[in-house]
Amino acid sequence: MDAPTILFQDQRFVVLDKPAGLPVHAGPSGGRSVEDWFGVLSRRKDGPWLAHRLDADTAGCLVIALRHAPLLAAQAAFASGEVHKTYWAVVQGEVSGDRGTVSAPLRRVTSPRGWHMIVDPLAGQSATTDWQVLGRANGSTWMELRPRTGRTHQIRVHCATIGTPIAGDERYGSPGGGLHLLARAIHLPLDPPVDATASPPAHMLGALEQCGFRG
């Protein structure tokens, strides 16, 4: 594997720019994953560890803890909702309005085709996402999304719930062109804080530029 792109690094953490399509863990059948880089990031016996996770098809900021004490601090910050995460997505369709909030509880279900998340107001776990439109063009919308909670596939399901699935989302929308979802920035309010920002991946650039992005 090529060397990882590092967005932030100190003695406690590394924030990687995770490529789209690379899982954080090797699957049951093996294969490449973010964990293959752990030996390059640190030679200590107590680490590294993933401080959180991203979907395999999501690109962008992924926090790796290099030591155990920082790992626990990061996990506590994620659990308490203190971590600020910003995502960019290009969705299919025109979003109504310029900003808003989606509150739709989510539950995991399993079918013969595999598992996925559904909105379930009665049995689902609470899930809330704030969103803002950054640009529009040709039936697509460029959105900035800030999840208040960290449910699996939260942003993907919430975008689909309001009628505008993320472009390239094979599970909740339409396949083709790769998932247009970027973990754009992350802030961990530790002492000292951890801040990182990722640039859009190549497969998203065309759609973003049509919506007004200028890198």
> Which of the residues are catalytic?
55
Total H helices, total E strands in the chain: 4, 12
Which residues are CB-neighbours of 198 under 8 A, at least 6 positions away?
A: 7, 17, 59, 60, 61, 182, 183, 184, 185
Specify the pairing of strand 106-111 against strand 84-92: unpaired
Cα–Cα distance, 19 to 34 (Å, whole number): 9
Decide if 61 contacts 78 (C-beta within 8 A). Answer: no
Q: Is 176 helix (H, G, I), strand (E, B) or coil?
A: coil
Residue 27: DSSP 8-state: B
The residue with tokens 């590092």 is: 6
Query: For residue 192, is the peptide bond before it cis, meaning its omega torsion is within 30 degrees of 0?
Result: yes
The residue among 106, 162, 154, 103 whose CA lies nearest residue 133 is 162
